[in-house]
A and B are shown apart, each in its own frame.
Chain A
Amino acid sequence: MVRYILRRIVQAGICLLGISVIVFSLSHLSGDPALLMAPPEAKPEDIEALRVMLGLDKPLHIQFWLFISKAVQGDFGESVRWGKPCLEVWLMRFPNTLLLGVAAMMFTLVVGIPTGILSAVRAGGWFDNFGKAFALAGQSMPVFWVGLMLILIFSVTLRWLPTSGIDSWQHLIMPSFTLGWYFTSAITRLTRSAMLDILDSEYIKMARIKGVPEFLVILKHGFRNAMIPVVTLAALNIVTLLNGTVITETVFNWPGIGRLIVDSIFARDYPMVQTCVLIASGLFISANLFVDILYAYIDPRIKYH
């Protein structure tokens, strides 16, 4: 058990290291970083001075080591675009993304779980088939298009909701729905199959035999048991939503981390890009690690995989 955990931690560390290498080489791959970061009218001596200041004159592996050690302490360098420490900029934007993520998760659960339950209870019925078709279509649509179509319908045509920005709760609706889009069908499917499994059990039959009214059978006996895998999955996947913020925030102009990445890329603000990708990857990998360890506790079969 402990060995498994240690192995996973080492794995995670290696993975993070690998990503760091990629991230580190970002600025170096596209040319001389000093040249890129210096203002256009800089003279050669200035660029040279900048190079020394950034430590670019040292050998690559030393630079990498410096990069890593500073990152661990929270020093990701200074953002070229914002003129502030990268971490500071990141921290400023992060709460917005967090808000979006939580709202998206709520949406997903509120929509996905009842849909899954109803699909299971009326398995094979029109609702179920409609749900399956809808889920299939949903998985086949790119998220950015979903977002734009939502804007088209709700902002342009119906004028119910604002298109972008972050000023009111109405601004939250479409982005969180979009962010949760793919995940909703996963939750629906999981709830449905968990419910179907459970509705087949003997104790459900027994509850009906006892004369428990059907809705109570489904909710009290069925749902309670089905919720365990569903809630676990939901909680564990909150970080997967991270990936989707890039697109969603771009579409809705949401001032979060996702948009920060994209903006920084186009502004050639490589320190910022490095920061964002590194932190995002770190969170992602840690969350997965946590999930795996948790699962190992719950289901001992997994560690013998």
Chain B
Amino acid sequence: MISKDNILEVQDLKTYFYTSRGVVKAVDGVSFALKRGETLGLVGESGCGKSITCFSLIRLVPRPAGRIVGGRVLFEGEDLLTKSEKEMTRIRGRRITMILQDPMMSLNPLFTIGEQVAEPIRIHQKLGKLEVWEKVKEMLRLVHIPSPEVRMREYPHQMSGGMRQRISGAMTLSCQPDILIADEPTTALDVTIQAQFISLLKEIQQQAKLSMIVVTHDFGIVARICDRVAVMYAGKLVESAVTRELFNNPIHPYTIALLNSVPKMEVKVDRLYSIEGQPPELHALPPGCSFSPRCPDVKEVCLKDYPPQKEIKLGHYASCWLHG
């Protein structure tokens, strides 16, 4: 899959957590690629490993229990997993950044907004004092924060949730990164603010030619903003395709089930669809395909071996024994 268009290539990434209950395979052989300027959506239930995957990309897996034990993360051809910590700190914030889910907690309560937005600028760029503040104001304007000069001196608790999330955006985008990872960026926001924020992300992406990975469990957001979608289940990537293709022709039973779970406005049903069974305990995965206990079309081979990832149609990958 190595190609020049791909700004990021993840190959067989494995991140395990070593706990007293056993080894939790949070990310177990995940492979995907991100093209320049593309927005990739990463969807799945809570606990499927999407967030850990993102943290693994920039090597911020919670220690000491968590460890990246395998795979490669090729950023513009270079494997991030082999870099030194010092090199990584230069990449984080500068080339690859992330927005976290909870805007309330992402900002340090003791420092002013200006301070926190200025921090990455000071670390990664050599600018004079005044230039730094100018940049801060510019970033705040970019994310539509009114009167940035005033806001700069204020503290996080004086801001609303939507503003705080936008300030997070300003913090992370100040050094013109190549990749932005957004971990459930709208989950903690009000519905009306969500739409605003998503529009903002799209706007910034177009301006800055940003490549994005958006982690979400909300298909609405996927539809609005993602070019490609990848579906994760129990630490593995089960299907990935162009968004429209995935919505119209889902292949993996889990994807089908997920899409069915989203209630449709036009269709009247007696019962809401829900997937039978429970997501598996990650330290005690069943042999074979992890979805087999809940799969309506399960075959015998599904219980024995994990299906390899195959390109079923052009650009549409899935790991399922039902298809090849």
* Chain A contacts to B: CB under 8 angstroms: 123-125, 201-203, 205-214, 221, 224-225
A125–B107 Cα distance when bound, in Å, is: 29
A277–B171 Cα distance when bound, in Å, is: 58
Given contacts A211-B91, A211-B92, A211-B93, contact A206 B60 (CB under 8 A): no
A7–B64 Cα distance when bound, in Å, is: 48
Number of interface residues of B (CB under 8 A): 27
A225–B111 Cα distance when bound, in Å, is: 10
State how many angstroms separate the Cβ of A152 from the closest Cβ of chain B: 39
On chain A, the residues within 8 Å of B58 by CB distance are 209
On chain A, the residues within 8 Å of B105 by CB distance are 201-203
On chain A, the residues within 8 Å of B110 by CB distance are 224-225
Question: A225 near B108 (CB under 8 angstroms)?
Answer: yes
B55 nearest in chain A by CB position: A205
On chain B, the residues within 8 Å of A123 by CB distance are 64
On chain B, the residues within 8 Å of A208 by CB distance are 60, 92
Question: A205 near B100 (CB under 8 angstroms)?
Answer: yes
Binary A-proximity of B179-199 (CB < 8 A = 1, otherwise 0): 000000000000000000000
A213–B90 Cα distance when bound, in Å, is: 9
On chain A, the residues within 8 Å of B107 by CB distance are 203, 206
On chain B, the residues within 8 Å of A207 by CB distance are 108, 119
Return the contact of A213 from the options B60, B89, B91, B108 (Cβ within 8 A): B89
Given contacts A203-B106, A203-B108, A206-B106, contact A212 B98 (CB under 8 A): no
Given contacts A203-B108, A214-B85, contact A209 B91 (CB under 8 A): no
On chain A, the residues within 8 Å of B124 by CB distance are 211
Given contacts A209-B60, A211-B120, contact A202 B94 (CB under 8 A): no
Task: Tell me what chain A mostly uses at the interface: helix, strand, loop, or mixed.
Answer: helix
State how many angstroms separate the Cβ of B120 from the closest Cβ of chain A: 4
Question: A210 near B85 (CB under 8 angstroms)?
Answer: no
Question: B119 near A210 (CB under 8 angstroms)?
Answer: yes
State how many angstroms separate the Cβ of A76 from the closest Cβ of chain B: 47
On chain A, the residues within 8 Å of B102 by CB distance are 202
Question: B60 near A212 (CB under 8 angstroms)?
Answer: no
B124 nearest in chain A by CB position: A211
On chain B, the residues within 8 Å of A202 by CB distance are 100, 102, 105-106
B56 within 8 A of partner (CB): no
Return the contact of B123 from the options A125, A211, A224 (Cβ within 8 A): A211
Binary A-proximity of B104-122 (CB < 8 A = 1, otherwise 0): 0111111000000001100
Starting from the known contacts A209-B100, A210-B172, A225-B110, 7 additional A-B residue pairs (CB-CB under 8 Å) come to A202-B106, A203-B108, A205-B60, A206-B171, A209-B98, A211-B124, A214-B85
B97 within 8 A of partner (CB): yes
Q: Which residues of B in the span 122-159 have a Cβ within 8 Å of any Cβ on A?
A: 123-124
A202–B97 Cα distance when bound, in Å, is: 14
State how many angstroms separate the Cβ of A216 from the closest Cβ of chain B: 9
Given contacts A124-B64, A202-B100, contact A210 B120 (CB under 8 A): yes
On chain B, the residues within 8 Å of A212 by CB distance are 89, 93, 119-120, 123
A205–B61 Cα distance when bound, in Å, is: 10
Question: A209 near B119 (CB under 8 angstroms)?
Answer: no
